[in-house]
């Protein structure tokens, strides 16, 4: 069968999609980019905010309308929280909840009567991730979370923590590297909690991957800013562990963090950032911020902005607070009005843009090894533009002459300028 895969939401959803792609391919199915030609469409949905739910429902409807003859399988957090709605109202053929998504391919074979031709899996062809247009692989190492931040619906959709074993993860990364993948990104709902159910810590997993694989680049997904030991910061000095940490702060006000039931105060967050920068001066620290959490006063917002400004984040992913039924925060008093959230979000966006430009500018004139991704169509003179990422996750672009193919390779480049938008660096090949 010809299978098209779509996803919304977090890197964990991306990782699951990539795993399904490899499993379907191993059964002899073909992964395709065009949904109109698909026999089966698999969609991994999201429910982290009301907007994510809306987008998930829109994508399901649009997919069903544009590919009416394809069977439609939906999984992910929206489908897990609203399985009957997805099937009855949106025309979905099969819902596989988060509880069963580890068996998604097996369930699809059984219920959707999918013919399998495993012998075709050995036929040389494009690796499943390349068929999806990916040059980096997201590797799911754990699921679920034992904490209950008051704003988070994901713990209801994903359940408790469950860690994959080291050998299984190492084997997957080695297989990805043999397929040509140059960078693996470890990801999970609560990545820092990997091993809590195995009597291990995240540092044990990172050490094992570095010791037992040859993949050039290992990166970490979003990592809650707690449960990091001194050994973790020593590991940051390894050149194969990419110097980028995405540490969700959520607010720069301790009183707001307390209402969120976050386990890291601002002073502790600042200490972690200092340790990371001492271990690796070029490290890029990025974050998430929720704007307008219930009860957020003007003084708390100013306190938050001041702390965020002191941190010098390389990038800030901001969210306007969205009440989610089933979370404690939805019932907190003094919900912040939409106009106030919009005004504060604008302030944060301006601050984030200023800090991002400043962060990028400090690297001008430097040389970095860049993992290059798919290039543009050739111009009239045959030149093409390739995007890529430095080890510390700075997005760069370079223009090269006819016949030069950079995609999926790691090559050195000098950073020589910044795009007008201020969110990308221009580079020349060394």
Q: Is 404 left (phi over 0), alpha (psi -120 to 50) or beta?
A: beta
- Tell me if 195 is assigned to some domain: yes
Q: Are residues 57 and 174 in the same domain?
A: no
What b/e string do you get for 3-13 counting C-beta neighbours within 10 Å, with b at 16 or more?
bbbbbbbbbbb
- Tell me if 149 is assigned to some domain: yes
Q: Are residues 98 and 167 in the same domain?
A: no
Q: Which of 89, 122, 155 is the last residue of a domain?
A: 122
Q: Residue 50: its pLDDT value, please?
A: 84
Q: Are residues 196 and 288 in the same domain?
A: yes
Q: Are residues 89 and 15 in the same domain?
A: yes
Q: Are residues 42 and 105 in the same domain?
A: yes
In contact, 371 and 410? CB cutoff 8 Å: yes
pTM for this entry = 0.90
Dihedral of the alpha carbons of 54, 18, 217, 361, in degrees to the nearest 10: -30
Q: Are residues 142 and 96 in the same domain?
A: no
Q: Are residues 297 and 148 in the same domain?
A: yes
Chain segment 137-165, per-residue pLDDT in tens: 999 999 999 999 999 988 888 888 999 99
- Tell me if 383 is assigned to some domain: yes
- Tell me if 377 is assigned to some domain: yes
Q: Which of 327, 344, 361 is the last residue of a domain?
A: 361
SS3 call for 391: coil
Closest CA to 409 of 376, 375, 383, 381: 375
- Tell me if 127 is assigned to some domain: no
Q: Residue 122: its pLDDT value, please?
A: 43
What domain range is 421 assigned to?
A: 367-429
Non-local CB neighbours of 220 within 8 Å, separated by 6+ positions = 185, 186, 191, 206, 241, 242, 244, 245, 246
CATH number where 41 lies: 3.40.50.12160
Q: Residue 117: its pLDDT value, please?
A: 56
Q: Which of 334, 361, 388 is the last residue of a domain?
A: 361
Q: Are residues 30 and 104 in the same domain?
A: yes
Domain count across the chain? 3
Q: Rounded to the nearest 5°, which phi and psi values hold at 399? A: -115, 125
Q: Are residues 159 and 270 in the same domain?
A: yes
Q: Are residues 54 and 145 in the same domain?
A: no
Q: Are residues 348 and 385 in the same domain?
A: no
Q: Which helix (H) or strand (E) holds 74?
A: strand 71-76
- Tell me if 128 is assigned to some domain: no
Evaluate the CA torsion angle 264, 268, 274, 276 in order and state its sign: negative
CATH number where 339 lies: 3.80.30.20
Strand ranges inside 77-188, DSSP E:
94-95, 136-143, 162-163, 183-188
Residue segments in the chain with a per-residue pLDDT below the cut of 70 = 89, 115-133
**Residue 331, both tokens:** 């019932």
Which residues on neighbouring strands pair with residue 398, listed in sequence order?
Answer: 386
Q: Are residues 188 and 155 in the same domain?
A: yes
Closest CA to 377 of 386, 368, 369: 386
């Amino acid at each position: 069968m010809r299978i098209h895969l779509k996803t919304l939401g977090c890197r964990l959803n991306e990782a699951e999609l990539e795993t399904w792609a490899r499993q379907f391919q191993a059964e002899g199915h073909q992964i395709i980019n065009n949904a109109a030609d698909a026999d089966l469409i698999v969609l991994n949905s999201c429910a982290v905010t009301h907007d994510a739910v809306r987008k998930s429902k829109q994508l399901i409807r649009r997919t069903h309308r544009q590919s009416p003859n394809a069977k439609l399988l939906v999984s992910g957090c929206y489908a897990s929280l609203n399985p009957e709605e997805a099937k009855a109202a949106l025309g979905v053929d099969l819902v596989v909840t988060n509880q069963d998504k580890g068996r998604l391919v097996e369930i699809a074979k059984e219920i959707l009567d999918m013919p399998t031709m495993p012998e075709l899996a050995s036929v040389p062809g494009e690796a499943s991730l390349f068929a999806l247009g990916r040059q980096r692989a997201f590797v799911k190492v754990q699921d679920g979370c034992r904490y209950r931040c008051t704003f988070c619906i994901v713990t209801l959709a994903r359940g408790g923590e469950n860690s994959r074993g080291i050998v299984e993860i190492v084997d997957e990364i080695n297989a990805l590297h043999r397929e040509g993948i140059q960078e693996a990104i470890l990801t999970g709902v609560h990545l820092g909690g990997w091993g809590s159910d195995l009597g291990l810590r995240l540092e044990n997993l990172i050490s094992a991957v570095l010791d037992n694989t040859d993949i050039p680049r290992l990166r970490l997904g979003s990592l809650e800013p707690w449960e990091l030991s001194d050994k973790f910061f020593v590991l940051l000095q390894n050149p194969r562990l990419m110097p980028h940490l995405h540490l969700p702060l959520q607010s720069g006000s301790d009183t707001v963090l307390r209402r969120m039931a976050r386990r890291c105060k601002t002073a502790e967050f600042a200490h972690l950032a200092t340790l990371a920068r001492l271990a690796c001066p070029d490290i890029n620290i990025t974050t998430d911020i929720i704007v307008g959490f219930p009860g957020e006063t003007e003084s708390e917002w100013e306190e938050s902005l001041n702390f965020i400004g002191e941190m010098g984040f390389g990038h800030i992913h901001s969210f306007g607070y969205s009440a989610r039924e089933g979370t404690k925060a939805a019932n907190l008093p003094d919900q912040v009005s939409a106009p106030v959230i919009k005004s504060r979000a604008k302030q944060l966006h301006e601050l984030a843009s200023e800090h991002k430009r400043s962060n990028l500018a400090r690297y001008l004139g430097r040389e970095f090894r860049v993992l290059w991704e798919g290039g543009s169509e050739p111009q009239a003179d045959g030149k093409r533009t390739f995007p890529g990422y430095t080890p510390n996750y700075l997005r760069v672009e370079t223009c090269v002459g006819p016949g030069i193919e950079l995609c999926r390779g790691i090559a050195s480049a000098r950073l020589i300028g910044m795009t007008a938008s201020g969110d990308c660096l221009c580079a020349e090949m060394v």
